[in-house]
Chains A and B, each alone.
Chain A
Amino acid sequence: MSTDNAKPVLETRNLCVRYGKVEALRAASISLRAGEIVTVIGPNGAGKSSLLNAIMGALPSEGQAEGEVLYQGHDVSHHAIELRLGKGLALVPEKRELFTSMTVEDNLVLGAYRRRKDGWSYRDGLEGIYSVFPRLKERRKQLAGTMSGGERQMVAIGRALMSDPKVLMLDEPSLGLAPRVMAEVFHVISHLRETGVATLLIEQNSRAALQVSDYGYVLEVGDITLEGKARDLAQNPKVIEAYLGAKH
């Protein structure tokens, strides 16, 4: 899938995030290559969401990021969200942040708000999304706020894909989803790599996440404590222990 000598499409170097006096993330360095799925696992409050928000430039106003975010080798850490989005970063946030009183189709169309290239039309973009999520086509005139949890997640992912990202970041995509729906979402994620999109995934549901990923990082209280091939991590007793508190 990914060759080791390929240049990373996204890389962070010593990325720190602070909220006032609280240090949410300390010197996190991660990288991912085109077509790769990388997952970051770790307990609540470990700084996982802060990592994604800092990469996207979407930290809340009291949050401060330091360190480098390199996209295709260029530091984008002082760029506004709009610019990062235009370059090819996209984030599906934990809370989805959909436009609930607007239709599914409007949500998707707005996803391409920054995308104005020649030879590309909303129609094509929408068809692309609908082919991945056929259910959204049936419901395109429905208000996003009236959809079920799984469908909302599809709209959120679809909206992010409309911006034609090279790096898609997903914050807890399985949160609050029933297992069957969750499996569907992970199925889509694992197929994204065929289009060359790199996916950075944050999950509590670490087993499922590691199953679809190529590589993984373990983030604990602001520090990356472990990394490795996803296969190996899934077998690592320390990973299992970190989630259940004791060996069994």
Chain B
Amino acid sequence: MKMSTKKLQWLMFGWFFLFPFLPVPGYWITIGNYIGLYSIVALGLVLLTGIGGLTSFGQAAFVGLGAYTTAYLSTTLGWSPWVGLGAGLVVSGLAAGLIGSITVRLSGHFLPLATIAWGLSLYYLFGTLEFLGKYDGLSGIPPLSLFGLDLSSPRVMYGMIWFCLGGCLWLVLNLLNSRPGRAIRALAKGRTMPEAMGINTAQYKILIFVLAALMASLSGWLYAHLQRSVSATPFGLNMGIEYLFMAVVGGVGHVWGAILGAVVMTGLKSQLQDWLPLLLGSNGNFEIVVFGVMIVLLLLWSRDGLWPWVAAVWAKFHPPEPEVVAPAIAPDGYGDMKRRAKPEPGALILEVNEARKQFGGLVAVKDMTFEIKAGEVVGLIGPNGAGKSTMFNLVTGVLPASSGEIRFGGERIDQLDSRRIVQMGIGRSFQHVHLIPHLSVLENVAMGAHLRGKSSPLSAALRTDRHEEAQLLFLAAEQIRRVGLGDYMHTPAGSLALGQQRILEIARALCTDPTLLLLDEPAAGLRLKEKEALASLIRQLKGEGMSVLLVEHDMDFVMGLTDRLVVMEFGSKIAEGLPVEIQNNEAVLAAYLGGIE
């Protein structure tokens, strides 16, 4: 449940800040420093894995890039560590951008595999290069200093490290709670839904990979100036794996889980390294056995890590409040938001002309021709396997047409991708609902408003997007009220009934400001009452001047609702006309009831 446990979080965090001022032993400070360093890396992994659905075992290599860059610049060249920070970030960012852009088009498991190979290769490189001191590494790295303040003591570095972690947390939390943040959350749902909202999935995937690498690089920079020397070992593949384990143990879907995971793993590791050699009677990094077994067990029992458990205990005492709230009145400039001009009622908006789709030898859509005029509700019906879904995919740009033409508002769209098509004003829903279940109805619907804003990830992270964000949320809230889900604004989308989820998807599609709405089997699996609610919503939208194409199997549902019906069988149009005509059409009767001679 995406509800606020903010108090607990910042309480926990504040406690860590006080830590060095207490008379604690130096060893604890060292552990605290490592927890901070690891948390920064794990935070990047939460963004990448838990929220974006990608993963990397190579984060240690990015830590290494950050550490070695500053180490080399500040020792051999004698440059300021602050130059080293910038250079490290640039190097890691470029490397991540390159790897990301290569793997982003491949299926999800190629990225982690690539990061394993890449992590190993960089590790060997660190250990081989003459100017990086081979396996001995570089030493004599100067301490950090800030406005003349010397940061060489571990206690002072503690403040620096946790300040950086706090900054990263703040930026990541801001980013997630924004237009680009919603786009990132949508990535975990595959490609079709976000693209249909106009989200460039490839770009956002590369973005989070780069962001995770930048955080790792920052951690490496801090590490180098804390440790004052670097060598290849802490940047090997094993450490890369341990970073991922931290994120998974803490709760890979939760920003605060990164810190929790780093605390648990670092504490456990230091204890195990003390005890295991005594127990087993020989030296070695036996703690990896415990880590490995722990991860397997954890994934068996709870894929979500430890954080939700902590949050649930806290929530018992402090009932959560919604985190994302739409403004109650329209924000300034809301009325000036760009809206598409409505076509004249009766004007031709969608023309499908001889559209054909062939998969190998199979012709799924055979030269279909039909049209939709502005303000019309048209039903595309036919028995199962008639090619309706393929036809739907051609219009929404999920598939390109093999031949023929599809025009929307006079422009050819048959070869455009879905991201381009939604920009032109075709909104859609999905037969199998594509929602982020733990996000609220408001946040889910606001995903549809992606194209209505422009704010960049940077402005989101720095909160300079708040005015636009308020507009987008108000827009989303208006659509939610428009479809009648106003009472469920802050309910997690996953807890709605199927009928309400379908309606939520319509609200999300309405956020894209469409002139044509395409609904894919919206009545499938709905109860009678839910069907009635859906039908009355569609009538209301028609009353507001919306054009709708309903792809349906259920004839009962479309009969009273549509102006016109197009009937498909075996990929071809077998009839078209008013619902009454279709009901008595012999060919349609045969197609639906069938019969054999």
Q: Contact partner of A44 among B521, B583, B595, CB < 8 A?
A: B521
Query: Is A128 engaged at the interface, CB distance under 8 Å to the other chain?
Result: no
In the complex, which of the residues A203, A205, A209, A242 has the most CB atoms of chain B within 10 Å of its own CB atom? A205
Query: Is A225 engaged at the interface, CB distance under 8 Å to the other chain?
Result: no
Cβ of A179 and Cβ of B596 under 8 Å apart?
Answer: yes
Nearest Cβ distance between residue A169 and chain B, in whole angstroms? 17
Instruction: State A210–B429 Cα separation when bound (angstroms).
Output: 35
Query: Is A6 engaged at the interface, CB distance under 8 Å to the other chain?
Result: no
Cβ of B385 and Cβ of A175 under 8 Å apart?
Answer: yes
Instruction: State A22–B594 Cα separation when bound (angstroms).
Output: 30
Instruction: State A244–B553 Cα separation when bound (angstroms).
Output: 11
Cβ of B583 and Cβ of A24 under 8 Å apart?
Answer: no
Quick one: which of A180-226 are within 8 Å of B by CB?
A: 182-183, 186, 203-209, 211, 221
Query: Is B275 engaged at the interface, CB distance under 8 Å to the other chain?
Result: no
| 1/0 contact string of B556-597 vs chain A (CB within 8 Å) | 100100000000001000000000000110000100111111
Cβ of B527 and Cβ of A221 under 8 Å apart?
Answer: yes
Q: Contact partner of A206 among B384, B527, B553, B594, CB < 8 A?
A: B594
| 1/0 contact string of A227-248 vs chain B (CB within 8 Å) | 0000000000000101111101
Cβ of B554 and Cβ of A43 under 8 Å apart?
Answer: yes
Cβ of A244 and Cβ of B597 under 8 Å apart?
Answer: no
Cβ of B584 and Cβ of A248 under 8 Å apart?
Answer: yes
The verdict on A44 contacting B593 (CB below 8 Å), with A175-B384, A178-B570, A248-B583 known, is no
Which residues of B sit under 8 angstroms from A206, Cβ to Cβ? 593-594
The verdict on A205 contacting B570 (CB below 8 Å), with A21-B497, A45-B525, A172-B384 known, is no
Instruction: State A209–B594 Cα separation when bound (angstroms).
Output: 9
Quick one: which of B509-567 are within 8 Å of A by CB?
A: 521, 524-528, 553-556, 559
Cβ of A245 and Cβ of B555 under 8 Å apart?
Answer: yes
The verdict on A211 contacting B525 (CB below 8 Å), with A44-B384, A245-B583 known, is no
Query: Is B498 engaged at the interface, CB distance under 8 Å to the other chain?
Result: yes
Cβ of B593 and Cβ of A207 under 8 Å apart?
Answer: yes
Query: Is A163 engaged at the interface, CB distance under 8 Å to the other chain?
Result: no
Query: Is A176 engaged at the interface, CB distance under 8 Å to the other chain?
Result: yes
Which residues of A sit under 8 angstroms from B570, Cβ to Cβ? 176, 178
Which residues of B sit under 8 angstroms from A178, Cβ to Cβ? 570
| 1/0 contact string of A33-71 vs chain B (CB within 8 Å) | 000000000011100000000000000000000000000
Which residues of B sit under 8 angstroms from A203, Cβ to Cβ? 594
Instruction: State A149–B556 Cα separation when bound (angstroms).
Output: 29
Nearest Cβ distance between residue B553 and chain A, in whole angstroms? 4
Cβ of B597 and Cβ of A204 under 8 Å apart?
Answer: no
Query: Is A12 engaged at the interface, CB distance under 8 Å to the other chain?
Result: no
| 1/0 contact string of A143-187 vs chain B (CB within 8 Å) | 000000100000000000000000000001011101100110010
Cβ of A208 and Cβ of B584 under 8 Å apart?
Answer: no
The verdict on A182 contacting B589 (CB below 8 Å), with A44-B553, A175-B384, A244-B555 known, is no
Nearest Cβ distance between residue A45 and chain B, in whole angstroms? 4
Query: Is B331 engaged at the interface, CB distance under 8 Å to the other chain?
Result: no
Cβ of A24 and Cβ of B593 under 8 Å apart?
Answer: no
Instruction: State A240–B594 Cα separation when bound (angstroms).
Output: 11
Which residues of B sit under 8 angstroms from A182, Cβ to Cβ? 594, 596
Cβ of A205 and Cβ of B559 under 8 Å apart?
Answer: no
The verdict on A211 contacting B595 (CB below 8 Å), with A44-B384, A244-B589 known, is yes
Cβ of A22 and Cβ of B525 under 8 Å apart?
Answer: yes
Cβ of A205 and Cβ of B593 under 8 Å apart?
Answer: yes
Instruction: State A205–B559 Cα separation when bound (angstroms).
Output: 20
Cβ of A207 and Cβ of B594 under 8 Å apart?
Answer: yes
Query: Is B383 engaged at the interface, CB distance under 8 Å to the other chain?
Result: yes
Cβ of B583 and Cβ of A45 under 8 Å apart?
Answer: no
Cβ of B384 and Cβ of A243 under 8 Å apart?
Answer: no
Q: Contact partner of A205 among B383, B553, B555, B597, CB < 8 A?
A: B383
Cβ of A44 and Cβ of B554 under 8 Å apart?
Answer: yes
Instruction: State A73–B478 Cα separation when bound (angstroms).
Output: 58
Which residues of B sit under 8 angstroms from A211, Cβ to Cβ? 595-596
Nearest Cβ distance between residue B592 and chain A, in whole angstroms? 5
Nearest Cβ distance between residue A189 and chain B, in whole angstroms? 11
Q: Contact partner of B595 among A207, A242, A245, CB < 8 A?
A: A207
Which residues of A sit under 8 angstroms from B589, Cβ to Cβ? 244
In the complex, which of the residues B497, B553, B570, B595 has the most CB atoms of chain A within 10 Å of its own CB atom? B595
Which chain B residue has the least Cβ–Cβ distance from A208? B594
Which chain B residue has the least Cβ–Cβ distance from A185? B596
Which residues of B sit under 8 angstroms from A176, Cβ to Cβ? 385, 570
Quick one: which of A13-34 are within 8 Å of B by CB?
A: 21-22, 24
Which chain B residue has the least Cβ–Cβ distance from A46? B525
Instruction: State A72–B521 Cα separation when bound (angstroms).
Output: 39
Instruction: State A211–B362 Cα separation when bound (angstroms).
Output: 29
Q: Add 13 more A-B contacts to A176-B570, A204-B383, A244-B589 (CB < 8 A).
A: A22-B525, A45-B525, A175-B384, A175-B385, A178-B570, A179-B596, A205-B595, A207-B595, A221-B525, A221-B528, A244-B555, A245-B556, A245-B559
Could you show 9 A-B contacts with beta carbons less than 8 Å apart? Answer: A22-B498, A22-B525, A24-B525, A43-B556, A182-B596, A183-B596, A203-B594, A243-B593, A245-B556
For the complex of A and B, the 4 pairs showing the least CB-CB separation, nearest first, are: A205-B594, A176-B385, A45-B524, A45-B525
Contacts from B to A (Cβ < 8 Å) = 362, 383-385, 497-498, 521, 524-528, 553-556, 559, 570, 583-584, 589, 592-597
